[in-house]
Amino acid sequence: MKKIIRITAATTSVLFFAAMTGIPVLAQSSQKTTGDKKPLPSEVMKIAQKSCVKCHIDGGMGGLKFTEWDNYTPEKQTAKAKAMCNAVSDKIMPPKNFLKKNPEAAPTDADIKTICDWSASLQPAQK
C-alpha cells in the first residue's frame, strides 16, 4: 500500500511540475504577435513631447502613458499607435481646452502625417 501511495505521489508531483512549467509556454504560443516591441521613433517622440506628454505620463490623464511605452506588448503598442493617429487626425487630441492654454502644442499637418505613417508601419500586413 505504501508503495502505491509513493508512486501516486511521485506521479502527481511530476505531472504538477510539468503542468506548471508548460503553462507559460502554452500561453505564449497562443498569443498573436505582430512582432517585437518597438521604441518610439525620435520624430514621433519629438511630436509627443510637444503635444502629448504634459498629460500622457505616469500619473497623468488618458489610457496612454509614454513612460510605459516600452512595457506595452507589441499588440498594445500597435493599438495605441493606431489610436494616436485617429485621435490627432480627428482633432480629438490634444483637447481644445489644452490647446487654448498651450497653442504651441498643436500638431501640424506634417506632425499628424508622421504619426499616422508610423502607426501604419506597425499595423499587420493585410492578407
CA neighbor of 105 nearest in space, from 28, 50, 60: 50
Q: What is the mean pLDDT of residues 1-23?
A: 43
pTM above 0.85, yes or no: no
Q: What is the mean pLDDT of residues 46-50?
A: 95
* Domain locations along the chain: 1-30, 42-122
**71 vs 58, more confident:** 71
C-alpha dist (Å) from residue 76 to 55, 89, 116:
19, 20, 16
Q: Crossing angle of helices 109-122/42-51, nearest 10°?
A: 130
